Every structure is written in C-alpha cells, then in structure tokens.
Amino acid sequence: MEPLVDVLRRQADVAIFDNHLQQIGHQGRTVSLADLARWLVSRARTLGAGHAVSDLARYLAEDMFSVSEVCLLTGVNIPEIADLANGLRLLPFDQVPDSAQKRMFTPTFHDAFAFARQVPTAALTSHNQYPKHHVVATGPVQLANVQNRFGDMNDARLILALIIPNASSLVAFWANPDAAVPLGDSSAGWQSTLGQDSGFHAPATLTPTDFERLRDLYLLFCSLNPNHRQHLRLPLERLSRAVRRLDRVDSAIELGIALEALLLNDMDEERGELTLRFRLRGARLLGQTPEERAIIYGVLGQVYRLRSHAVHRGTIPEQLGGTSAADILGEGSRLAARAIETLIRQGQNPNWEQITLA
C-alpha cells in the first residue's frame, strides 16, 4: 500500500485527503492518503482500476457530490414504493437501500431491545447534492453550509399524520453519498428525535386512496405562502405528538396547543372570552349544520377543560359529562386534523370575523 501512497503524495490535487477533515453532510472525519489508497484498491477490485481512478478524478473536478437522503418512519405500512412529490419517494423499510445506518435500525432475532424501541416500518427518500468540503484538521474547523431536505420530509410526515392518526413517528434521518464518492462511507452518523415520542402504536396501512390524498395535501401545503406554511407547522407537530403520547395529561396539553394555534392564531395580548371564541370558531369553521356545530362546540369545550386540568393540576379526570377522557381527546384530535386540512385547502389564514358572522 505504501508505494500507492507515495504516488498519491506526489499528486497535488489529492492533497485534500492528506490529514484533512472531509465533510459528509453535517459531519466530518479526518482522512489520510492511506485511507484514500485503501479506497482506491477496494474500488478497483470491485469495478476495475480505470473505474476507480475515474471516480476519484470526477470527485476532484466537481464542487458538489450526490447523496441519497433517508428519513425513517414508524407507525405506517407502505405496500409498495410510490413517488410522492417534488422528488420525495415513500417506500417500505425493507426497500431502503442497504447501508451501515439501515443495519443499525434493522431488528434481528437476537435484538433483545427491539421491543423497547420504535422499529421503522417505512421511509421517505430523496436525492440531493452536497458541497465538497475538505479543511486542515488542526484548530477550529468551519464546516460548509449543507441544505438537506429534512424539513421537506418532516412536512410530508406531518401531513401523513392527518390521514393516518397515530402514524408516522420520525425514527432517524441520514444521508448516504454515492458509492463513487471517495471515502464517502467513512461516516455513518444520523439524526434522531426518539426522545420526543413516548407512545407505541400498531402500524396502519396506507391505502392507494390514502396515498392520493396525502399527495394532494402535500402539494397544496408546499404551494402555500411561506408564512402560512410556518404557522401550520406548529399545530401539525403538536397534533402529531398529541395522538402518540401515552400519558393523557401530555396528550391534552399538546392537543390544546394545537387547537389554540389553529383557532386563536390572531389573538396576541387581547385574550378575553377565550373559551367562547375557541369553541365558536371551531364550530363555525368545521360545522355544516346547526346540529353539527352544536356537537363540535361541545367537544371543543370538553377538550379545553381537559387542557386546563392538565396545565393547572397536572392530572385530568377520567370522564367529563359521562364521556371518557380518551374519547374526548380522540375526537378532539380528529377535529384538529380536519381544521388543519381545511386551512391547507383554503390556502390562507382564516378571516375569523367573516367566519363567525357568516
């Protein structure tokens, strides 16, 4: 291997591998010419020496390199690979390309801890381009800015939760460079948000009808004004958490935040008659008949009472007015999902005065 290292050392353009930090996504690893030599030999054994040298030359000549981004989900079963929109693809977990990261999240017969963690069932994937960045690995290191598609994937996950309650908890996100990227597999890190979710639910299956609705809503969401999109992310995230919490106190608080963000979004300091506005706006927004509005008005009042109990007392009653707290929270979550979908389809924040007086 040393003769090859000596040859590489005489090539000025490969000096970026000589004890430099190579950035892959948001992570970096110090690499050496010996590492590069081993990669070239391994690549040559698989595809031939000419192919290996060509891959290295292309990487050196370009400012960007290709990656495949993966966002693992649990709580939803995907029957087959399907293109969602804007370059995002939804697929079953077993169809995710093999990688060191995937193997870390693949439960095995001997995995004694699989029962205690969220096992991935599906994934969102996308292709992207990351900047090539090598810096001397001494002293403070400034990493390049990387624009990944985690935000787009998380938006799709949140929209999915409108269609399948309890679905689409995020397990992990990572990026795998193309196999032609020299030493691209040297870093096998990932991002994870497992700490946010404590609930475990049996996965639900996404039907073809569900998928078409998901695609329709996701495209509409992407077309919204950025400010309106940002406003809806809060109730989307809080609703997603509410339906997955095992503790009903936590669920009531999360659901209350989601509904307040939807129905009281225009109120800053003036909070008078809060409960009345909360119930009336929800009933007028979602109810089509006086009878339906009366039902929604009552449910929202019960939800608000549970939320107040949770915040001020740290507990919630088992029942309110003869209805179990679990049923109230479930119906409140369905109303929140309907409200979010309504606002996505309207394409703008509601005119509450017009809705209330109509």
Sorting pLDDT into bands at 50, 70 and 90, what band is 188? low
Q: Is 9 helix (H, G, I), strand (E, B) or coil?
A: helix
15: Cβ–Cβ under 8 A, 6 or more apart, which residues? none
Among the residue ranges 40-49, 101-110, 141-150, 214-223, the one predicted with the least confidence is 101-110
Q: What is the pLDDT of residues 248-305, one digit of tens each?
A: 898 899 999 999 889 887 765 444 577 888 899 999 999 999 999 999 999 999 998 9
Cα torsion 178, 183, 186, 188 to 10°: value is -10
What does the pLDDT read at residue 112?
46
* Residue 331, pLDDT above cutoff 90: yes
Q: Which residue has the higher pLDDT, 112 or 346?
A: 346
State both tokens at 33.
């010419």
Q: Quick one: which of 229, 282, 228, 277 has its CA closest to 255? A: 282
What does the pLDDT read at residue 266?
73
Q: Which residue has the higher pLDDT, 303 or 112?
A: 303
Strand boundaries in the chain, DSSP class E: 20-24, 27-31, 64-74, 76-77, 82-85, 88-92, 122-131, 134-136, 169-177, 204-205, 319-320, 323-324
- Residues β-bridged to residue 76: 204
What does the pLDDT read at residue 341?
94
pTM (predicted TM-score) = 0.84
With tokens 């909360």, the residue in question is: 278
CB 239 within 8 A of CB 254: yes
- Residues β-bridged to residue 20: 31, 136
What does the pLDDT read at residue 143?
83
The set of long-range contacts for 136-140, using a CB threshold of 8 Å and a minimum separation of 24, is: 136/19, 136/20, 136/21, 137/19, 137/20, 137/21, 137/30
